[in-house]
Structure formats: C-alpha cells, structure tokens
Chain A
Amino acid sequence: DTGVSQDPRHKITKRGQNVTFRCDPISEHNRLYWYRQTLGQGPEFLTYFQNEAQLEKSRLLSDRFSAERPKGSFSTLEIQRTEQGDSAMYLCASGSGPYGYTFGSGTRLTVV
C-alpha cells in the first residue's frame, strides 16, 4: 500500500491553456473521488467514480472539466481553457467502503 499518488504536485499554467492531472488510487480501492480546495475553504466535491463508472458530478464541474477513470484504475482530471478562478488545490481520494478514505497530497494549480 503506497497510498494515493497525485501528479504533478504543482502546475503553473497560462490562462486559456489546458491542463491534466493524474491520480493513482490505492490498488484495491474501487471508489475514487476528486475534490477542489480553494484558499481558506474546505475541500468541495467535484466527482466520483465507482470502478470505471462516473456516478456523480457536482454542478461545480463545468463543461470545461472532464474526468475519466479508464479500466477502473488511475484517474485523470482535465481542465480546458483554464481561468484564474480555477486556481486551487485539486485533491484525489480513494476508498473501499463507507468508512475508509485516503487522500493524496494534491495538485496545486496556479493560473496566471
């Protein structure tokens, strides 16, 4: 068990560019979540996968955002045409049941 890995740790991009983040969950976990945390706030739910199926998306996830989890393993979160308001920490978590969640260290996105 190597924990939840997120890559990259930091990303600086120019407004209008596309970015993609990766999350590698704990291998036996079938649930995977993406959250966004802005400065001074708690993490906010973005989307959820059970295996490869994306079962829920928050209204925070505009059409510029897309997430995938091919084969129910790693997941990617892509943001197209980034805006300054997208600057945040993007957190991934995985779980195997109702009580076990492990968070990654996050990807900090800065849009300039």
Chain B
Amino acid sequence: AQSVTQLDSHVSVSEGTPVLLRCNYSSSYSPSLFWYVQHPNKGLQLLLKYTSAATLVKGINGFEAEFKKSETSFHLTKPSAHMSDAAEYFCVVSEGSGGSNYKLTFGKGTLLTVNP
C-alpha cells in the first residue's frame, strides 16, 4: 500500500526567503511522485512530477524537488518565496505499473504562508 506523510501542516516564510516543504512516502513499488498546489477556491495544479528519470525535478514557478530513495523523501524547495506562492501544497504518490490502477494518494497538505 502507498502512503504519503507531509511533515508540516503549516509553513510560514518571509517573501524572498527559501521555501522547504517536506514529504516522506511509502510504496511497495517504484513510485511516481508529484507535488500539486491548490490556491483558495481554485482547482489542483500540477507543480512537478518524478517518474524514475532524473532525481532532481524542476517544476513550474521556480519550484523543484529531489527524490531520495534511501530517505524515502521528496521534499519541495524554492530559493526565493513570492507572495503569490501562498497556497496549500500536496505531496502525492502513485504506484504506477506495479501498483493498482495508477491512483493518486495525497498527503494531508502543507499550508504555505508568505509574509511581506
């Protein structure tokens, strides 16, 4: 069975400072991993995805994430936060071809607050 743990329910940063949102996963198979962002009253938007190619994945809006199999982690980072980054972020795992139906399992989310 697959699962995701987002280690922080709320992260607060100042504008222009680095962002780190932490995620650990559990999977019986080689996982695909995703980060989604959800702005208030908006739909889910894909930030980036890891699909067993390069372990450092670059996404939209300056975000990137590194897949570390030994640590079962997929932390999301950004060098410099912008006010528009304030949103809920979800780490997501899919077990792909070895698992069941490619369904996505979401973490509980991390609320990112960016202070001016």
Q: A48-B101, A56-B101 are in contact. Are A101 and B106 (CB under 8 A)?
A: no
Cβ–Cβ contact A106 & B106, under 8 A: no
Q: Which segment of A14-22, A38-46, A80-88 sits at the interface?
A: A38-46
How far, in whole Å, are A99 and B103 apart by their CA atoms in the complex?
10
Cβ–Cβ contact A42 & B101, under 8 A: no
B68-116 CB contacts (< 8 Å) to partner A: 90, 94, 96-97, 100-109
- Closest-by-CB residue of A relative to B51 is A99
A12-55 CB contacts (< 8 Å) to partner B: 31, 33, 35, 40-45, 48, 50, 55
Cβ–Cβ contact B43 & A105, under 8 A: yes
A59 vs chain B, min Cβ distance (A):
13
Cβ–Cβ contact A99 & B32, under 8 A: yes
Cβ–Cβ contact B97 & A56, under 8 A: no
Most buried by B among A31, A33, A42, A45: A42
Partner of B104, one of A50, A97, A101, A104: A101
* Count of A-B residue pairs with CB < 8 Å: 54
Q: A99-B49, A104-B43, A105-B42 are in contact. Are A45 and B104 (CB under 8 A)?
A: yes
Number of interface residues of B (CB under 8 A): 23
Secondary structure class of chain A's binding surface, majority of residues: strand
Cβ–Cβ contact B46 & A98, under 8 A: no
Cβ–Cβ contact B43 & A44, under 8 A: no
Cβ–Cβ contact A42 & B32, under 8 A: no
Cβ–Cβ contact A55 & B101, under 8 A: yes
* A contact residues around B7 at 8 Å (CB): none
- Tell me if B44 is interfacial: C-beta within 8 Å of chain A: yes
How far, in whole Å, are A106 and B44 apart by their CA atoms in the complex?
9
Cβ–Cβ contact A103 & B109, under 8 A: no
Q: A91-B44, A103-B43 are in contact. Are A42 and B51 (CB under 8 A)?
A: no
A interface residues (Cβ-Cβ under 8 A, vs B): 31, 33, 35, 40-45, 48, 50, 55-56, 91, 93, 95, 97-99, 101, 103-106
10 A-B pairs (CB sep. < 8 Å): A42-B107, A43-B44, A48-B103, A95-B102, A98-B32, A98-B51, A98-B94, A101-B104, A103-B44, A105-B42
